[in-house]
Structure 1
Amino acid sequence: MRFDATEVEIAVPARRLPAVRMAGFRQRAPVRRDIGMIAHPAVTLLIDLSQDASLSFDVNGAARRGSVVVGLLPGELHATGLARVDCLQIRLEPVAAAAVLGPAAELTGAVVALDEIWGAEAVRVEDRLRAATSWDDRFALAAELVTRRAAARRVDPEVAHAWRRTLGARGRLRVAGLADEVGWSRQRLWSRFRAQLGITPKHAARLIRFDHAAHLLAAGHPPAGVAAEGGYTDQSHLHREVLAFTGLSPAGVAAAPWLSFDDVAWP
């Protein structure tokens, strides 16, 4: 199942914050839609702005409704719109997530209700965003919220540097080289990175590399070419990594509906 402009309205902000990406989604017709979500190298806030909390999630067989935070590597996750859905999606790179939400390590592998993290503020945030008259106003409110919360804490500059370098290189860097760049031992970088971002540098590189490969597959590139461009040893290596992250084959990822609007939502 693929999406087109007649089914889902997508809005994006004119300006973006560092390490933060936002998009607004409005399902035009009140129909049930089941979407298998693909892992991204980001912690994701899905803020349900529908009037009747229409968004629901199935997380490894457990149901959740309303606004959630999707941590890194959440496992099998399906989102379902039971009626007309308005949703603000905020993707936070792990460095930003650790500042905005607290240590990202606590979110790895988890899907958590937003009010479990923000308490009563989650309801106030939803109400303010729902009352806004345009997506531009919603983006401005969300940007103010993220900026304010991010000012309260920071990750180590060395960890932030290692993340940015890994992301920029699409996962094709060695941990020893990153440790040399920041002047730490390999063991110290490994430990601090995992404690603050929730995954090891090596696993972060795998996730970033997979994300690039998944988008190439969704764009119609053949698996053999994706394996070569993505830095995999061969097509079988790509297949094993895609299966490990999604439970799908490369062909299954290429058809994943969650990726079909990524180029529009996250240009």
Structure 2
Amino acid sequence: MGTFTHGATEWDVACPRRPSRVAGLTMAGFRVRDLDPLRMVPHPAVTLLLEFGAGSTVLDCAAGRQERGSIVAGPGLGTGGAVRARGVNVECVQVRLSPVIARAVLGASPADLDGAAVPLGDLWGREASRLREQLGDVPSWQDRFALTEALLARRCAAGPPVDPEVAWAWHRIAVSRGLARVDGLAAEVGWSRKRLWSRFRSQLGLPPKSAVKLVRFDHAAHRLVAGEAAARVAADTGYADQSHLHRDVMAFTGATPVALAAEPFLAVDDLAWPGHGTPGRPHVPAGQRPVRGPESAQPPH
């Protein structure tokens, strides 16, 4: 377990000892005695916040809405800087799910979340409360990770996969770090633009153009946190210029690039998800690479 310090607050951070056997699933454990209001920075994944113990987490959302306890959030939660997390004696396992496996794991499409946070119990019923009890009963973080992975693996195996063409389009966006040409995705998988846009949105929770912007922003944001100059980051990550990067960061977070670079939500990633701070870890399930039309070869890498 490591310790992340931000101001006067210390976070205990735990990581699994091995990568998950479920492709597209990553986890970290957090224990924070007094969590000051924390800006939720949009991320290109579906997030599960699995709470346990006697503490309490509060998510302050737009329009004065609040969510407490274990929640699930669609890709891009916090866009506009409107969501803050706070709490006392917080203990939780945070799971990041590739949008490609999220529908199977959740039992509902990420599109139903519409980028917002909802109580996990709304989707899983009593299974959500049982999981909280089980996480509190096991003696170590590694046991909690194993318990969580086993549950999510079962749900993933039983749930419906996304279309291979949709998985491949997400793969292209992810490996390019948001630099993929959106108009070329449909041609790559042999679908019409209208069909791909509709299936992508309904199965992953956001349209391809929004996915490209979110993945590109996430990569740029982590480079800003790493201390790189905004002008260099803009030039390397596909923005027209530094002003374009500034506008995108403001739109996603309500903060300037300078302020974003100090956000603990991002700064803790190197400790909690070593090597996974940016979305360059695509997930294409086995056997789900699409073909170009009914009889043709697979699209190129």
Compute the TM-score of the two structures, normalised by the length of structure 1: 0.94
The answer to whether 1:206 aligns with 2:210 is no
Structure 2 portions without partners, runs of 5+:
275-301
2:271 equivalent to 1:264: yes
Q: Would you say the 8 A contact 1:73–1:108 is kept in 2?
A: no
Q: Report how far residue 175 of structure 1 moved.
A: 2.0
CA distance in 1, matches of 2:213, 2:177: 9
The alignment partner of 1:44 has SS state of strand
- Superposition pairs of residues 168-183 of structure 1, within 5 angstroms: 168-183=175-190
**CA–CA distance in 2 between the matches of 1:224 and 1:78?**
28
Structure 2 distance, partners of 1:192, 1:49, is 35
Alignment of 1:4-19 (within 5 A): 4=5, 7-13=10-16, 14-16=18-20, 17-19=22-24
Q: Which has the higher helix share?
A: 1
1:91 corresponds to: 96
**Identity over the aligned pairs, expressed in percent?**
52
Q: Structure 1 stretches (4+) deviating beyond 4 angstroms?
A: none
The answer to whether residue 105 in structure 2 is matched with residue 105 in structure 1 is no
2 CA distance for matches of 1:129 and 1:253? 32
From 54, 59, 63, give the equivalent of 1:57. 59
The 2-side partners of 1:174 and 1:168 are apart by: 12
Partner of 1:137: 143
Q: In 2, are the aligned partners of 1:46 and 1:88 still within 8 Å (CA)?
A: yes
* 1:78 and 2:79 matched: no
Residue deviations 1:11-33, cap 9 Å, x none?
11122231111000112xx3352
Alignment equivalent of 1:197, drawn from 171, 187, 204 = 204
Task: Say whether 1:227 aligns with 2:231.
Answer: no
Gaps of 5+ in 1: none
Residue 147 of structure 1: aligned partner: 153
Task: Please tell me whether the aligned partners of residues 175 and 186 of structure 1 are also in contact (alpha carbons under 8 angstroms).
Answer: no
Partner residue in 1 for 2:225? 218
Aligned partner letter, 1:117: L
> C-alpha displacement at 1:3, in angstroms?
4.2
Q: Distance in 1 between matches of 2:179 and 2:10?
A: 37
Q: What do residues 110-142 of structure 1 show as CA deviations (whole Å, max 9, x unaligned)?
A: 110110111111001111111111111111111
- Letter paired with 1:4: T
RMSD of the alignment, in Å?
1.6
- Per the alignment, do residues 45 and 119 of structure 1 end up closer, same or farther by CA in structure 2, a change over 3 Å counting? same
Deviations 1:71-106 (A, max 9, x none): 122332111122x22110000111111111121100
Shift of 1:108: 2.1
Amino acid at match of 1:90: V
Corresponding position: 1:115 with 2:99 = no
| Deviation by residue 1:177-201 (Cα, 9 ceiling, x = unmatched) | 2212211112211111011111111
Q: Distance in 1 between matches of 2:173 and 2:34?
A: 40
